[in-house]
A and B are shown apart, each in its own frame.
Chain A
Amino acid sequence: MLIVTFLFLLLVVTWVCGQVSVYNDELHFPVMIETSTECQTTATSNKGQLIVFTQSKKIAKLLTQKLCSDNVVAKQYGSVKGYWGYRTADSFEFVGKGIADLILAKNNIMAAFKAESTYNYQPVVGFSDYTAFFISSKEKPRLTKQYFLDKRIGLLDYPTSRSGHILPKQTFKELDINIANLKITYASSHNELRDLLANGKVDIIASFWKESDEKRFSKNYITPLSNNISGTRWYLKMQQNNTDLLCAVQENLLDMSKDQSLHYYQNVQPFWRCGANLVSLKEGDGDE
């Protein structure tokens, strides 16, 4: 009787052991997808916040840190917060509502929201103008209707891209091609477009040309669509005539571009001439 009771208890204990032996920890997730970074300037009691927006997480973090350690920024702001967003809709919010103090944007977006007149966004530095191309791997693309009709074409999926979306579609319209009849594959980035072309998934892509492309494609097989697409620019919201901040931001942006790995991003032009007493817009660099 004692043994039977003991064995029964032992079975119960065994079951409990089995239950206990399985490691059961509650999963706790932090904020999984960060969309911002914040840092304090030396003026910790100042509640003012400088808001920066860019598409790239890396640049947002870098620039935020740079601005935090800047003396001029510290005189005016207590902290700098850098936001980033992969989606085009995010930048619309920041520009359209004038939330961002400093934003990296294309001038077509600025123009669409008339942000330069509503919030007085002023270009600070800009990347060099570039040319949009149709790039093929096998032959030089011809800009005729017949040529495009049986081709597979790779475009960018964000409608704000000029070289990868707007200009090629404009060209199709000019050639009187119904876009619905084209075999278009969309990609989310210029690099992805290049992969599509290199892997033979598409016959033609629309993009800009960069030096490293020569390793994968031939410079002979590119056809320019349009010259002088103005590059992306950094805009500063200038609701006051805050020239000190303007010059400090310009200096930081120029400084940052030197560290960029891509040649295109190293090549930036400042829009302002920051003298000892006089700050003026450079000639010939006005908006298109």
Chain B
Amino acid sequence: MSKYKQLIVIISLFFILSSVFYISVTQKGQQVVKQKITQIERQIALDLPLLDLSNELLKHSGNKDAVNSYIKTLNSYINSNELKVVAIAPKSEVVTPVNSDQIIRSLSTNNGLVLVVFNVQQTHFTLSHFIYYFIFLVLSVLISFWVKFAFIKQSNKQFNNTQHQLITEPTPLVLIVDLNDKTFSSSCNTEQKMCLANKPLCFYLALVEYCTNNDDVALSHNKDVPEELLELANKYFYRLVELGHTVRKRPNFNNSLEKTLSEIRAALDEVLSEYPEEKELYYPPKAYGEGSRSRLHSYGLVNIRKGNIEIIGK
């Protein structure tokens, strides 16, 4: 996980925590204000008979000073900057245009409606709230480290798993023949390359192709090499000529067959030395022991299939 990603984690965590906190504070604040307004209203209602409010019917002008000092005392008991009583007056007297911060509650009395105007000012950013925001920031950083740690641990585990899978299910080995530089190599170790002469190279490729096409043919040392196989060998030789590897004349693939096979085997021995169990697939069978050159022996590659071998520059 890069530092960039970690920063994003920190910021988004902080943002989420802060907004949850902010919403919670706002919600609670509104609830508290509502509750307080109800309590204040109740107190005003209790004191209303003693408040010297004006009365139109009785031509009573009321005592504004007494009402104002009452409001002042009331506010001192409310003791909050967020909520204040601004005015208590009969409905006919409230002419102040009410702004968005103000809440008006009405009390129905026998002398008509009495309006109570509250001023509400929600403060969201007090010192204690800043401390909370700071804690969230620290928490976000800590959690991001934890997430990072967990992420690394998990990816390690996954890596181990894949490695494990690699060991239990190895990708099948492929013999790579590169016509450009006339080399053999295996897909497991592309670094180790074996050079081959034109003749064994062409013959081996022809043999592979021939055996792929003809599964159950027996290639005996006593018999001539089949025409089809020779043609394939020639075809590969011409390809080599095309790639500019040789100016010499075409070799006779019928001659010294055993030597050609030996050279092929030597090269395969070298390339597949670390994978002896795979060798059988690519190795032209050797005749062992007495009567080895019997009619029955075949140097054909019995089990070879398309895909076991990859030819570059074909």
Contact = CB atoms under 8 A, between A and B. Distances in A.
A2 B132 CA distance: 24
B29 interface: yes
Interface string B30-72: 0010011001100100110011100000011111101000100
Contact of A33 (B16, B51, B60): B51
A179 to B, nearest CB: 11
B20 interface: yes
A108 to B, nearest CB: 19
B60 A157 contact: yes
Nearest to B66: A86
B128 A86 contact: no
Given A10-B17, A32-B70, A32-B74, A19 B28 contact: yes
Interface string A23-49: 110111110110100000000000000
B139 A186 contact: no
A23 B79 CA distance: 12
Nearest to A88: B60
A15 B25 CA distance: 8
B73 interface: yes
B236 interface: no
A11 B16 contact: yes
B20 A18 contact: yes
Q: What 5 A-B pairs are tightest by C-beta distance, nearest first?
A: A18-B24, A22-B28, A33-B50, A18-B25, A27-B39
Contact of B24 (A17, A32, A35, A86): A17
A94 to B, nearest CB: 15
Interface residues of A, number: 32
A87 B147 CA distance: 73
Contact of A22 (B29, B40, B43, B50): B29
Given A27-B40, A186-B60, A14 B28 contact: no
Contacts of B128: 21
Contacts of A189: 63
Interface string A171-209: 000000000000000111100100000000000000000
Contacts, number: 94
A276 interface: no
Contacts of A21: 25, 28, 128-129, 132
A86 B52 contact: yes
Residue among A7, A21, A27 with max Cβ neighbours from chain B (10 Å): A27
Interface residues of B, number: 43
Given A15-B24, A22-B25, A188-B60, 11 more contacts: A3-B147, A3-B150, A14-B20, A16-B24, A18-B24, A21-B128, A27-B39, A27-B77, A33-B51, A33-B70, A188-B63
Contacts of B73: 32
The DSSP consensus for interface residues of chain B is helix
Contacts of A27: 36, 39-40, 43, 77-78
A207 B68 CA distance: 25
Interface string B224-254: 0000000000000000000000000000000
A24 B46 CA distance: 23
Interface string B1-43: 0000000000000001100111111011100100110011001
Contacts of A22: 25, 28-29, 32
Contacts of A3: 143, 146-147, 150
A26 B20 contact: no
B70 A17 contact: no
Interface string B91-119: 00000000000000000000000000000
A57 to B, nearest CB: 10
Nearest to A35: B50
Contacts of A7: 143
A192 B21 CA distance: 52
Nearest to A86: B52
17 contacts: A7-B143, A11-B17, A14-B21, A14-B136, A19-B27, A21-B28, A24-B35, A27-B77, A29-B39, A29-B77, A32-B47, A32-B70, A35-B50, A86-B66, A187-B61, A188-B62, A189-B63
A33 B47 CA distance: 7
B212 to A, nearest CB: 52
Nearest to A187: B61
Most B CB atoms within 10 A — which of A18, A24, A26, A188?
A18
